[in-house]
Amino acid sequence: MSTTLSVEGEIAVVTIDNPPVNATGRAVRQALADAVASTEHNPDIKAVVLQCAGSTFVAGADIREFGKPPLEPHLPDVLVQIENATKPWVAAVHGSALGGGLELAMACHYRIATPQARFGLPEVTLGLIPGAGGTIRLPRLVSAETALDMVAGGKPITAPKALEAGLIDEISGGQLAEDALAFAAKVMNGKTHVPTLDRSVNMPKDRGKFDLQASIIRKKARGHTAPSVAVTAVQNALSMPAADALAAERAAFIKLKSTPQSTALRHIFFAERATARIDRIKDVSPRDISHIGVVGGGTMGAGITAACLLAGLDVTLLERDNAAAELGQDRVLNILSGSLKRGLVSAENHLQMLAGFRTATEYVALKNAQVVIEAVFEDMAVKKEVFAQLDATVRPDAILATNTSYLDVNEIAAAVSEPGRVIGLHFFSPAHIMKLLEIVVPDQVADDVLATSVALAKRLRKIPVLAGVCDGFIGNRIMSAYRRECDYMLEDGAFPHEIDTAMRAFGFKMGIYQMQDLAGLEIAWAMRKRRAATRDPAERYVDIPDKLCEMGRFGRKTGCGWHNYNDGKEARAPEVKALIISEAKRKGITRKNFSADDIMRRILKCMQSEAQLILSEGIASSADDIDVVMVNAYGFPRWMGGPLHLLNADVGAATG
């Protein structure tokens, strides 16, 4: 780590070099304080450019320091020194100015950025709020509405949007360093700059709308505390003198830092970045991948195809016949045009993706694919047939992956001449959006096949989590366990709406029965029927889900499932309530009332014990990996860190 100060004529250039993201650790803060002192006392220096080495401007405070006692100099104090410097400081931003990095840039007197730079205050995603003046300086540079969005939403904005909003002064047209020096030369003898904190705050244009925006943010946060605290901090900035608002912000930040929610969110932040650190392949080079084959253009195959195209890969999508290929193509084109409409891709990118996409109905079309991902029906015979065809047609070193949800990947691998090239890539629907990718590791997979699969996941901006071969791998296996537990609770006394309400109150976006109605009940029904012959007769079995399907109640798409849907609006289903009561009676069960706490206690206990089993069987490499799966693909509230983090936190709290 080093922060250097060099001189270009009458301009000092301060360069922070603290890989990997130039976080404002203690040494950086000290170096900045020293740079203010030395440039202020040097009569030959008329201005200062602050820049960073590496891939990005300062991306925040060093999150790893948060669990330890804070060390001086504290960032807010360093920023006030920069802000009150008599010589103008110009922040030259590339990459991302996030959190403390944006606060640092806002304490500078001017900001110039590359066109691709981003600016954000993502602290709420860590269960925090800015702690170095971000909530007070931001509404002095941009509108109150924009400030509220950025602070409470935590999402970054692009450089053009930042320029338009008044957050930055210029976008570099060429070399950022040169443009920053030119900007500094322009301002060094100019009008006296006004420290950001001394500027008047931009009051809302329409206070009613602003207050409505604030209440919506508070409501949407559900059980997540930080967004609401962030709203209060921005409201303070609008109503208090800057010094008072600064003090209030700092106090709130320090308080949040020690909350279980922030501890959980920081846990999951690092856990997500640790999943791809796999000893077995640390010295294995992944193959270069440019062309993907996808077999099956249904819900998942289309999503996987789109995800690969959006990552700049070429894709050939194979379907059974021309009609199905056309349907698959339409699904893919709809996804891509949606990304274009939402501004996620440029028109040029869109054209490039279309040029890299083709459909086919003959396996020979896949002959150049380096990786082929199968996403056909969840039926072992169909999958084995596809793999046999692939084995006979595609290049001998092509990686063959299956997107199966539950089936035995070892059995699929055994269907090809070289099992070492078979692996499971379990995407989640919608595959172009969901970040989690379970990489299911068969017994004989080759190391470079595994390494290439992990590299492909990262190329797709996914979070790879390794899973062993078992029924449902990690996530689906845990979900099957707690779905079974919820069905038991139906017989024991609860109703679907009570369980869904309890899960939503806990922080899930959706309850287990709402989710089944959305996905459709027929898939699980088909799986239960397939397994009926091998089911353990001694195991408690709840017939209610089967009876619902026999009644033609398959969920939203049929207007009724666990709940009724009138014009898409969910309503309780008296028919289901009657069925549940009669089933309990038929089994001689005396039903009892369940509170929301009773329900969540049983669900969490079931999740946690299945997770511990998965860990003990070696199906997951770590407890953190299981937390990452449940938070990223099954709606487990992120601010609780995952089922096993919660268990350890509860145990910790219980033992004191």
Q: Is residue 629 part of the contact set for ligand NAD (CB under 6 A)?
A: no
Q: What is the residue type of 285?
A: S
Least distance CB 460 / ligand T1G (angstroms) = 13
CB 148 within 8 A of CB 201: no
Q: Which tokens in the block code for residue 537?
A: 């007769």
Is 227 a binder of ligand T1G (CB under 6 A)? no
Alpha carbon distance 261, 268 (integer Å): 11
Q: Which stretch binds ligand T1G (CB under 6 A): 17-25, 228-236, 358-366, 615-623?
A: 17-25
Minimum distance, C-beta of residue 336 to ligand NAD, in the bound complex (Å): 18
Find which of ligand T1G, ligand NAD, none residue 297 binds, CB within 5 to 8 Å per kind.
Answer: ligand NAD
Stretch that binds ligand NAD, among 215-223, 377-385, 446-454, 633-641 (CB under 6 A): 377-385
Give dist(CA 261, CA 128) in Å, integer: 9
Shortest distance, position 339 Cβ to ligand T1G, whole Å:
20
Task: Return the SS3 of 580.
Answer: helix
Q: Name the residue nearer to ligand T1G (CB basis): 228 or 564.
A: 228
**Partner in contact with 511, chosen from ligand T1G, ligand NAD, none, beta carbon below 5 to 8 Å by kind:** none
Read off the DSSP letter of residue 610. Answer: H
How far apart, in whole angstroms, are the C-alpha atoms of residue 435 and residue 426?
A: 11
Cβ distance 421 to 398 under 8 Å?
yes
Q: Is 123 a catalytic residue?
A: yes
Residue 347, classified by CB atoms within 10 Å of its CB into exposed (0-12), middle (13-18) or buried (19+), is exposed
List strands edge to edge, sheet with 96-98.
Answer: 96-98, 118-120, 157-158
Say which residues have a Cβ less than 8 Å from residue 475's Cβ, sequence separation at least 6. 428, 436, 438, 629, 630, 633, 634
Is 360 exposed, middle or buried, given 0-12, 13-18 or 19+ CB atoms closer than 10 A?
Answer: middle
* Candidate list 39, 82, 89, 100; residue touching ligand T1G; CB under 6 A: 100
Taking CB within 5 to 8 Å according to partner kind, which of ligand NAD, ligand T1G, none is near residue 122?
Answer: ligand T1G
Interaction of residue 96 with ligand NAD, rule CB under 6 A: no
Residue 320 sits in the site that holds ligand NAD (CB under 6 A): yes
Question: Shortest gap between Cβ of 299 and ligand NAD (angstroms)?
Answer: 4
Q: Which of 40, 83, 123, 145 is catalytic?
A: 123
* 123 is a contact residue toward ligand T1G (CB under 6 A): yes
**128 contacts ligand T1G (rule: CB under 6 A):** yes
Tokens of 562: 């666990």
Q: Which does 610 bind (CB under 5 to 8 A by kind): ligand T1G, ligand NAD, none?
A: none
Q: Which of 194, 382, 388, 578 binds ligand NAD (CB under 6 A)?
A: 382
From ligand NAD, ligand T1G, none, interface partner of 423 (C-beta below 5 to 8 A by class): none
Binds ligand T1G by CB under 6 A, chosen from 28, 85, 98, 371: 98
315 binds ligand T1G, rule: CB under 6 A: no
For residue 643, whether the previous peptide bond is cis, meaning omega lies within 30 degrees of 0, is no
Among 83, 103, 179, 491, binds ligand T1G (CB under 6 A): 103
**Least distance in angstroms from the C-beta of 632 to ligand NAD:** 14
Closest distance to ligand T1G from the beta carbon of 426 (Å): 22
Alpha-carbon gap, residue 149 to 213, rounded angstroms: 8
Pairing status of strand 170-171 against strand 118-120: unpaired
Binds ligand NAD by CB under 6 A, chosen from 56, 404, 452, 516: 404
| Residue 299 near ligand NAD by CB under 6 A | yes
Q: How far is the CB of 526 from ligand T1G (least distance, A)?
A: 39
Alpha helices in 97-225 (DSSP H): 100-107, 134-141, 144-153, 159-165, 176-188, 207-220
Sheet holding 2-8, edge to edge: 2-8, 11-17, 47-52, 89-93, 110-113, 170-171
* CA angle, residues 347, 463, 341, in degrees to nearest 5: 20
Query: How many binding residues for ligand T1G (CB under 6 A)?
Result: 26
Q: For 551, which DSSP code?
A: T
The dihedrals phi and psi of 339, each to the nearest 5 degrees, come to -65, -35
* Contact partner, 403, from ligand T1G, ligand NAD, none, Cβ < 5-8 Å per class: ligand NAD
Select the span of 48-56, 152-160, 316-324, 588-596 touching ligand NAD (CB under 6 A).
316-324
Should residue 584 be labelled a site residue for ligand NAD when binding is judged by CB under 6 A? no
Residue with smaller CB distance to ligand NAD, 258 or 429: 429
Residue in this structure with the two tokens 């539950």, named with its chain if needed: 406
Examine the residue annotation and report whether 522 is marked as an active-site residue of this protein: no
H or E segment to which residue 358 belongs:
strand 357-360
Least distance from ligand NAD to the Cβ atom of residue 534, Å: 19
Which of 377, 540, 575, 587 binds ligand NAD (CB under 6 A)? It is 377
What count of Cα atoms within 13 Å lies in the side-chain half-sphere of residue 496? 25
Query: Residue from 403, 452, 608, 632 that binds ligand NAD (CB under 6 A)?
Result: 403
Residue 555 touching ligand NAD (CB under 6 A)? no
Closer residue to ligand T1G in complex, CB, 99/328: 99
Residue position matching structure tokens 């169909």: 382
- Listed in sequence order, the residues at least 6 apart from 25 whose beta carbon sits closer than 8 Å to its beta carbon are 1, 18, 62, 65
Contact window for ligand T1G (CB under 6 A) among 1-9, 15-23, 475-483, 604-612 = 15-23
Question: Which of the choices ligand NAD, ligand T1G, none does residue 132 contact, using the CB cut-off of 5 to 8 A by kind?
Answer: ligand T1G
Q: Mark the segment that binds ligand NAD (CB under 6 A) among 113-121, 153-161, 397-405, 628-636.
A: 397-405
- For residue 549, what are the CA distances in angstroms to 195, 203, 495, 585? 67, 57, 18, 20
DSSP state of 88: P
Of 223, 265, 122, residue with least CA distance to 642? 265
Under rule CB under 6 A, residue 64 binds ligand T1G: yes
Q: Is 131 in the site for ligand T1G (CB under 6 A)?
A: yes
- For position 303 contacting ligand T1G by CB under 6 A, the verdict is no
What residues contact 191, with CB distance under 8 A and at least 6 apart? none
Pick the closest to residue 636 from 508, 518, 515 (CA basis): 508
Is 61 an interacting residue with respect to ligand T1G (CB under 6 A)? Answer: yes
- Residue 593, number of CB atoms within 10 A of its CB: 8
Tell me the closest approach of the beta carbon of residue 51 to ligand T1G, in angstroms. 16
Tell me if 451 contacts ligand T1G by CB under 6 A: no
Q: Which of residues 415-434 bind ligand NAD (CB under 6 A)?
A: 427-429
Q: Quick one: 132 or 221, whose CB is closer to ligand T1G?
A: 132
Exposed, middle or buried by CB within 10 Å (0-12, 13-18, 19+), for 596? middle
Q: Is the peptide bond before 430 cis (omega within 30 degrees of 0)?
A: yes
Q: Distances in Å between the alpha carbon of 252 and those of 92, 177, 238, 248?
A: 30, 37, 16, 6
The residues binding ligand NAD (CB under 6 A) are 295-301, 318-320, 324, 375-378, 382, 386, 403-405, 427-429
The residues binding ligand T1G (CB under 6 A) are 20-21, 23, 56, 59-64, 75, 96, 98-100, 103, 122-123, 126, 128, 130-132, 134, 270, 273
Catalytic residues: 103, 123
